[in-house]
Amino acid sequence: MMHNLISLTVWTPIVAGIIVLFFGKNECLARYLALLGAIIGFIFSAIIFFKFDSNFSGIQFEENIPWISQLHINYHFGVDGISMPFLLLNNFITVLVILAGWRVIKHKVALYNSMFLLMTGFMSAVFGALDAILFYVFFEAMLIPMYLIIGVWGSSNRVYAAFKFFLYTLMGSLLMLVALIYLYNVSGNSFDIFTYYRTPLTMVAQILIFVAFFFSFAVKVPMWPVHTWLPDAHPEAPTGGSIVLAAITLKIGGYGFLRFVLPIVPDASRFLAPLMITLSLIAIVYIGLVAIVQKDMKKLVAYSSISHMGFVTLGTFLFVGPIASVWGLQGAITQMISHGFIAAAMFMCIGVMYDRVHSRNIADYGGVATKMPIFATFFMLFSMANSGLPGTSGFVGEFMVIMASVQNNFIYGLIAAISLILGAAFTLWMYKRVMFGEVNNHHVEEMKDVNGFEFVVLALLAVGVLWMGLYPEIFVSKMQVGVHDLVVQVANSKI
């Protein structure tokens, strides 16, 4: 069983999802089955996390069998220090999502839970895949459940949001497919990602491949200016959908840059790094400013996600910038994990309020803290984390990336640091308007404090946020060797 752990992590939720879909006539049974599937998947990913040898350089838990032999496509899974934390995060978040929807989702329960389980399995496969087509298959397959999640359970403008989400991401991935097929032909008929790492490529080919990958991953991250689908998708998605979207799906973009773009086209990455850094800085500052003026809480957090993901791309490309800074790379990965917790927590908090008042408008709230004191405490913690307070996870990654920026260029550091102010501004101002002040309408008057399910979910997220903030060592040490391997890889020129 030990050498099949990744397969088990991938397939347990998928099989559970299919079972739930077919045997979910009874809503209660569907919920319990889904929770069981999610927990078993989480246990497998936790075993991987603890069994992971942090001193070993290379791929662990590797599985490699031929899948489509005519096309040399293999069923090739394995994790290194970079992908492993995501596997754990992904399965952790799914348990929370199933719990979060326990009381709230009353409409097509089986389909809802099954779609989330399928999503989890697909995303685990994306993080574990070492064969380009295996990666691609799951990368695209994710769109189907997400399309249905947004479209079926979303709110008023859901159809528009679902289409925009699907077509935007599909456009990116189709171009990536052509790039992968091209790589297959130049690398001597192989879809193995590590073979691509060694394949020499001319500068022109590298830049074209970079562009194809860029469209695919930048849309997922999302980077400015291809970010516009996210603020539309988020407010319309149900709470669980928003959590998965923000916490995991966006990370696939950042992960793709690390797994594909930097090692496969290192020279093009170096060449285009200034452009990417500029785009990231624009995302950080401009989107931060946009977030301040939002009237809709979910839109606000969506914009804040884009701004925070700007740090991920900034760190990634500072790493191949003029002064290769490992801080940037480590910061990018830490920021992704941390943002996974914080974004999930923020959307969860908004979901808790939405279920009581059925409004996402900041103006409809006020004085919630007096009615929901326990909730207010949690929300305070997460808001602080979102604005990057030291001691929470939000601080660690942003700090590392800002350090890397200062190393490279003081101006970069200065601009990146502005985001700490902006982050505090949009988060805390929203917190103030929603939680403090007078109770200004009868909906707020009737609000009850968090119930058991919500408390468990918020508490688990709080543990994650504080753990990553106070003792990031346990994650950082596991990724150290993986980061080092990537450093060595990217340092080589391929021309």
Partner 1 sequence: MNISLFAAIPEIFMAAMIVVILLLDAFVADNKKHLNTIFTLAALIGGYILQVYVFIPGQIQLAFGNMFILDSLAQGMKLFTYILAIVTVIYIKHYINDKKIMKGEFYAIFLFSILGMLVMISANNLLILYVGLELLSLALYGLVALNRDSTKSTEAAMKFFILGALASGLLLYGISFVFGATGELQLDKVFQAISTNGSQNAGLLVFGLVFIVAGLVFKLGLVPFHMWVPDVYEGSQLAATTVIGSVTKLASVVFIIRFLIGGLVMLSHDWSLMLSMLAFLSLFIGNIVAIAQTNIKRLLGYSTVAHMAFIAFGLMTVSVNGISAVVFYTIVYAITALAGFGVLLFLSKDGFECEQIDDLRGLNKSHPVYAGIMLLVMFSLAGIPPLAGFYAKFTILQALVELGYIKSAVFAVVLSLIGAFYYLRIVKVMYFDEKDVGLQVANVGLLPRVALFINGGLLLLIGILPSGLMNICTQMITS
Under the rule (CB under 8 A), what is the footprint of partner 1? 67-71, 111, 133, 136-138, 140-141, 143-144, 147-148, 151-152, 158-159, 162-163, 166-167, 170-171, 174-175, 177-178, 181-182, 184-185
CB of 51 to partner 1, least distance (A): 28
DSSP designation for 472 = T
Q: How far is the CB of 148 from partner 1 (least distance, A)?
A: 6
Closer Cβ to partner 1, 144 or 456, answer by number: 144
Closest to partner 1 by CB, 140 or 296: 140
Nearer to partner 1, 121 or 310 (CB): 121
**φ/ψ (deg, to 5) at 77:** -115, 160
CB of 32 to partner 1, least distance (A): 21
Q: How far is 367 from 414, CA to CA, in rounded Å? A: 36
183 contacts 261 by C-beta, under 8 angstroms:
no
Rg over alpha carbons for the chain, rounded to the nearest Å, is 21
Closest approach of partner 1 to the CB of residue 44, in Å: 21
Q: What is the DSSP string of 210-264?
A: HHHHHHHHHHHTTPTTS-THHHHHHHHS-HHHHHHIIIIIHHHHHHHIIIIIHHH
Smallest gap from residue 184 Cβ to partner 1 (A): 7
Q: Which is nearer to partner 1, 192 or 398 (CB)?
A: 192
As measured in angstroms, the least distance from the Cβ of 176 to partner 1 is: 10
Query: Toward partner 1, which CB reaches closer, 13 or 151?
Result: 151
Tell me 154's DSSP state: -
Residue 148 or 344: which CB sits closer to partner 1? 148
Helices 158-186, 203-220: inter-axial angle, 10-degree rounding: 150
Yes or no: say if 434 and 367 are a contact pair by the CB < 8 Å rule. Answer: no
* Assigned token pair, 252: 């696939």
Gap between the Cα atoms of 208 and 33, Å rounded: 46
Smallest gap, in angstroms, from Cβ of residue 362 to partner 1?
A: 28
Cβ atoms of 470 and 368 within 8 Å: the answer is no
296 - beta bridge partners?
A: 361
Least distance (Å) from partner 1 to the CB of residue 152? Answer: 6
Q: Which two tokens stand for residue 2?
A: 């030990």
Note whether 78 and 7 are within 8 A (CB): no
Question: Residue 133 CB, nearest distance to partner 1 (Å)?
Answer: 8
241 contact partners, CB below 8 Å, separation of at least 6: 146, 149, 150, 153, 154
**Of 172 and 423, which has the nearer Cβ to partner 1?**
172
How many CA atoms lie within 13 Å of 461's alpha carbon, on the beta-carbon side?
A: 38
Nearer to partner 1, 171 or 406 (CB): 171
Residue 299, helix vs strand vs coil: helix
CB of residue 81 to partner 1, shortest distance in Å: 28
Tell me how far apart the 2 most distant CA atoms of the chain are, in Å: 69
By beta-carbon proximity to partner 1, the closer residue of 178 and 363 is: 178
Query: Strands (DSSP E) along 376-488, which ranges?
Result: none
Q: Rank residues 47 and 171 by Cβ distance to partner 1 and give the closer one.
A: 171
Residue 342, both tokens? 């914080």
Q: Which amino acid is at 281?
A: L
CB 21 within 8 A of CB 37: no
* CB nearer to partner 1: pick between 126 and 483: 126
Least gap, CB of 144 to partner 1 (angstroms): 6
Q: How far apart are CA 69 and CA 191, in angstroms?
A: 11
